[in-house]
Amino acid sequence: MLVIEKIAEMQSKSNDLKKNGKTIAFVPTMGYLHEGHLGLMRYGKELADVVIASIFVNPTQFGPNEDFEKYPRDFERDKTMAESAGVEYLFYPAVEEMYPGSFNTMIKMSGITDKFEGKTRPGHFDGVATVVLKLFNAVLPDIAIFGQKDFQQTAVIRQLVRDFNIPVNIVVAPTKREEDGLAMSSRNVYLPSDLRQKASIIYSALNSANALINQGEKKRLAINEIMKNKLAEVSEIRLDYACAVTADSMEEPDEFNSGESVALIIACYLGKTRLIDNKVLAIP
């Protein structure tokens, strides 16, 4: 596996690969890799000839009081893990390479970004969209793979690709979970062991709502209520949102229709750690 730190070198390598008829799958990450990331990389190998991953903790998607400085980083460990998952090129730019002093353009999104994650984290998705466009222009992939774990992010990326006519095929892969159901996340290392044990309640809340829907419940507020009640069993949880939304546009009708695809989305703080998770299912 080759580590590439410069944008120009990455572009030149990708152009060479394409000239040789190779297709490229790209997995952008912020590093501190776990099985969730590695699953996306392995999936990339099934979808294209060459897998390129990136590791870049993107400052523009963190708010002033968020964890940019203390976000976990371990490049040597990440390198070994990415290579074991079949990554051939690891793009690892420095902050100054991506955002030199002369950098002056930010994407400003609206609509889908006005609610949920975007509401709690103002500017977050502008930073995500900006860095993803920059990464796409460095890596020049045919396919880019994102995790369903960040449900709203996948909708934002699809919007970005539509709005800017970006010739990249977006693929979303399912969420990898720990044995107790907690969605894998680099931020799980922040959880002290007592809270880590309680974190599986988030998955239980999603499953309770799933079961209620399968029993015939279609009313949005009733579905939200069962998730909130479940999460309230852990006193250390501070809820941001627990909502059922339409999976395609994240809207909140009073009632869902049979056959409609619904996303159950949760964001909460467990102690100081912000955790998100979701489940997508069809209304019977």
Q: How far apart are CA 58 and CA 128, in angstroms?
A: 8
Query: Is residue 147 part of the contact set for ligand AMP (CB under 6 A)?
Result: yes
Query: Is residue 243 part of the contact set for ligand AMP (CB under 6 A)?
Result: no
67 touches 109 (CB < 8 A): no
Q: How far apart are CA 221 and CA 203, in angstroms?
A: 19
Q: Considering 13, 26, 37, 243, which one is annotated as catalytic?
A: 37
Query: Is residue 208 part of the contact set for ligand AMP (CB under 6 A)?
Result: no
Q: What is the DSSP string of 232-252?
A: TTSTTEEEEEEEEEETTT---
Relative to beta strand 24-29, strand 143-147 is parallel
CB of 116 to ligand AMP, least distance (A): 15
Query: Which residue from 13, 25, 29, 263 is in contact with ligand AMP, where contact means CB under 6 A?
Result: 29
* Binding region for ligand AMP (CB under 6 A) out of 70-78, 141-149, 159-167, 210-218: 141-149
Q: How far apart are CA 130 and CA 112, in angstroms?
A: 16
**24 membership: H or E segment, kind and range:** strand 24-29
124 is catalytic: no
Query: Is residue 128 part of the contact set for ligand AMP (CB under 6 A)?
Result: no
Query: Is residue 175 part of the contact set for ligand AMP (CB under 6 A)?
Result: yes
Q: Is 236 helix (H, G, I), strand (E, B) or coil?
A: coil
CB of 184 to ligand AMP, least distance (A): 4
109 touches 152 (CB < 8 A): no
Query: Is residue 60 part of the contact set for ligand AMP (CB under 6 A)?
Result: no
Which active-site residues does the annotation give?
Answer: 37
Residues making contact with ligand AMP (CB under 6 A): 29-30, 36-37, 39-40, 146-147, 149-150, 173, 175-176, 183-186
